[in-house]
Amino acid sequence: MNPDRIASLVEPDRVHRDAYVSETVFRLECERLFRRAWIYVGHDSLVPHAGDYATADVAGQPLLMVRQSDGAVAVMLNRCAHKGSPVVSGRWGHVDRVLRCPYHSWSYRLDGSLLAVPVAEGYAGTRMRECDTGRGLSRVSSAQHRGFVFARLAAEGIGFEEYFGEMLGCIDAIADRSPVGELQVAGPPLRSLIRCNWKIYLENIPDALHASVTHESSVAAADAVWEQEAEARRQGREAGAGEPAAGRPTVIEQLSPFGSGSPFMEDMGGRCVPNGHVILGVRASLHSGYSAVPAYEAAMRRAYGEERAARILSWNPQNALLYPSLALKAAPQTVRVVRPLAVDRTVVEIWAFRAREAPAELLERTRLYNRLVFSPMSMVAHDDVHVFEGIQRALAADANPWVSLHRNHRAQLGGDAAEVGGLDEALMRHQFAAWARAMSPGTAGAEAAG
Amino acid sequence: MSAPPAAADIAGFIFEEARLLDSARWEDWLGLFAPEGRYRVPLPGGAAPAETAGSGAADDEPLGQSIADEDLLLLRIRIARLRHPRAYSLQPQVSCQHVLQQPHVERIDRAGNTFTAYTPFMYAECKGDEQAILFGAVRHRLRLHEGALRIVLKRVDLLNAAAPLPAIYLFI
């Protein structure tokens, strides 16, 4: 795969398989796309106190997010300026005021600046202080919105607000699900290792059509078992077996909609937002039919007033993708993070968020949904993973090197609109148009910084 | 069971349970659960409800997730799906093998009708040409129900539960 051919891999209505299987393309993605884009690092509730830190591996770059003494969150590389050792280990933890390297005890302030080196007299007369080494842990541009911390590895490039635009409203939408507008990570994420290219996973995030096909077995099993169970409960009630009949269990509420037909999926609607971001389910989603939690809705009305509470609760997309690393829902409060490891290996983190001051039932629903739909032991995810990993292997076939994104493509109408149907493959074409732009040879100093 | 269970009965029950799973006799396996039975694979740092009575596990963590946490209704759904002809992830067929250490029977409380055991294991799952191997320990909490030992809780603590995991298709 010749790097000069990158631009030829994406056509308006199809993508060449080399985008998914070429090692060269993956290397260029790490050098270009993942440096130029704003990548999700973590939520600031992971690091509530000064000295708390969390790490994240973003396309080979070891990022370190540290809570500062003044309450800000800084992002830097977890790489000692001396020999390159990570200064902290593990996914999160706490240090007292100083980050100290375990190799030769170089120490850094919480903002990454160099505090002290051993055998300091040995550096007198050297140029250590004047070069990159003397600046300490390399700082990375970072920004946050409602506690969601992002970083851009390239020293220069598109600004945070310009990059995400109206997608920041999707972060607001999930944060506003809390009566006090605050989210908190609910423990560590489930993590799933999938042997496929990261873009196969990303394309699936706004893919409504696959739900009733790929997940047919899960839907059929849930519906059949619930039918038996409901009948047994009915008979039990008639026989006077005092047990009160509960309503439809949450598990059925969550699984059954995966079987929704194409008309519903199309009517969900989708939206393409500049820079590759997409939303599936701008009018409705598979989450729309969940039963109400009256105490929660009352708390929301008290907090936001009737009208705004109704608006917050009615906006419930299937997925909002903040390209290329973060997928949000509003209810459940599920946050997925996509971390590419290699051209054919991807880790997906599945976080549950707690909406502060909301009844515990919300978190229960989120945790159940994550287990049912995304966990490494989820029967729903099993069929997705089976398909994704199969695609990665089968794309090696030579006969037809193209992946089709033709559905609803209307070249003669001047390209895709922002508002599309839920089944329109514009939601994938849009990602690849942004991909092709981000993969172009360097401008804007993006690569020079590397 | 004609006599109150002895340690050997509890160990035998646990070996038999694994054998049913390894033979894909999932409906028979489900029959080993008490009506309130639960199957749980925790995520370290996740919630730890009061499920390992007397073990000192924290009962009060409100946060956290589990890799699996299923009551009988969910287990029935999962088994119905395993039997479905279009459960694509089971093509090619997935099979599994438990290798159990001798269960350490921790508690025989006949008055309280509670019996617990701790069983380190190795678990292998094979799909087509690929095999995944997991290590961990199972904590069983059993009780007598209609004269037979039944599972109140099967808790599977994986050694690498916090690591990114491949799909685990069957029951550990």
Torsion A234-A236-A238-A240 (CA) sign:
negative
Q: Identify the CA nearest to A37 among candidates A277, A271, A198.
A: A277
Query: Can you point out the beta strands (E) in A294-395?
Result: 319-322, 326-328, 334-342, 345-355
Cβ separation of A225 and B167 shorter than 8 Å? no
DSSP state, B134?
Answer: E
**A346: which residues sit within 8 A by CB, 6+ positions away?**
A193, A194, A196, A197, A198, A200, A201, A338, A339, A340
What is the residue extent of each domain of chain A? 39-157, 178-438
- Candidates A379, A389, A392, A393: best to mutate against B (most CBs of B within 10 A) is A379
Q: Is residue B104 part of a domain?
A: yes
Interface contact A362, partner B, CB < 8 A: no
* Residue percentage of chain A with pLDDT more than 70: 96
Query: Which CATH number fits the domain that encloses residue B146?
Result: 3.10.450.50
Supply the CATH classification number for the domain A39-157: 2.102.10.10
Cβ pair A333, A318 in contact under 8 A: no
Equal fold, A39-157 vs A178-438: no
What does DSSP assign to residue A447? Answer: T
Asked whether residue B123 is assigned to any structural domain, the reply reads: yes
> Does B168 fall in a domain?
no
A224 touches chain B (CB under 8 A): yes
- Predicted local confidence at residue A230, as pLDDT: 93
Q: What is the dihedral of CA B132, B136, B141, B145, to 10 degrees?
A: 20
* Tally of domains in chain B: 1
Average pLDDT of every residue of chain A: 94
- Chain A hits for B63, Cβ within 8 Å: 184-187, 354, 363
- The shortest CB-CB distance from B81 to any of A186, A217, A360 is to A217
Is B92 within 8 Å of chain A by CB?
A: no
For the residues of A118-163, what is the DSSP string, one character each? SSGGGGTTSSGGGSGGGG-SPB-EEEEETTEEEEE-SSS-S-HHHH
Name which of A426, A424, A407 is nearest A416 in CA terms: A426
Range of the domain at B112: 7-49+63-158
Average pLDDT over residues B133-145: 98
Distance between CA atoms of residues B58 and B51, nearest Å = 10
Report the distance separating Cα A311 and Cα A332, nearest Å.
16
Q: How far apart are the first and last CA of chain B?
A: 26
The reply to whether B73 falls in a domain is yes
Decide the pairing of beta strands B148-158 and B94-100. Answer: unpaired
DSSP A31: I
Dihedral angle of Cα A121, A123, A129, A131, to the nearest 10 degrees: -170
pLDDT digits (tens, 9 = 90+) for B12-41: 999 999 999 999 999 999 999 999 999 999
Residues B114, B120, B124: CA angle, nearest 5 degrees: 125
Model confidence over A275-332: pLDDT tens digits? Answer: 999 999 999 999 999 999 999 999 999 999 999 999 999 999 999 999 999 999 999 9
Residue whose entry in the numeric block shows the structure tokens 């904590």 = B139
Question: Which chain B residue shows the shortest CA-CA distance from A376?
Answer: B167
Confidence of residue A393 (pLDDT cuts 50, 70, 90): very high
Spatial CA neighbour of A431 closest among A319, A275, A279: A275
Structure tokens at B38: 């639960």
Reading the block at residue A30, the tokens are 């790490």
Q: Would B58 be classed as within a structural domain?
A: no
Report d(CA A20, CA A264) in Å as an integer: 31
- Let me know if residue B137 belongs to a domain: yes
Contact state of B80 with A225 under an 8 Å Cβ cutoff: yes
Q: Is A251 on the interface with B (CB under 8 A)?
A: yes
Give residue A333's Cα distance to chain centre: 12
Residue A443 has pLDDT above 70, yes or no: no
Given a cut of 80, is residue B79 above it in pLDDT?
A: yes
Residues A42, A351: Cα–Cα separation, whole Å = 10
Alpha-carbon dihedral angle through residues A126, A132, A137, A138, given to the nearest 10 degrees: 180
> Which of A187, A249, A377 minimises the CB distance to B46?
A187
Domain spanning A178-438, CATH architecture: Alpha-Beta Complex (3.90)
Establish if B56 belongs to a structural domain: no
Q: Give pLDDT, residue A300.
A: 98
Instruction: Judge contact between A204 and A210, C-beta under 8 A.
Output: yes
Residue B154 with chain A: CB contacts under 8 Å: none
Residue B58 pLDDT? 39
Q: How far is B103 from chain A (nearest CA, A)?
A: 25
Q: Which residue has the higher pLDDT, A420 or B62?
A: A420
Count the neighbouring beta carbons within 10 Å of the beta carbon of residue A130: 9
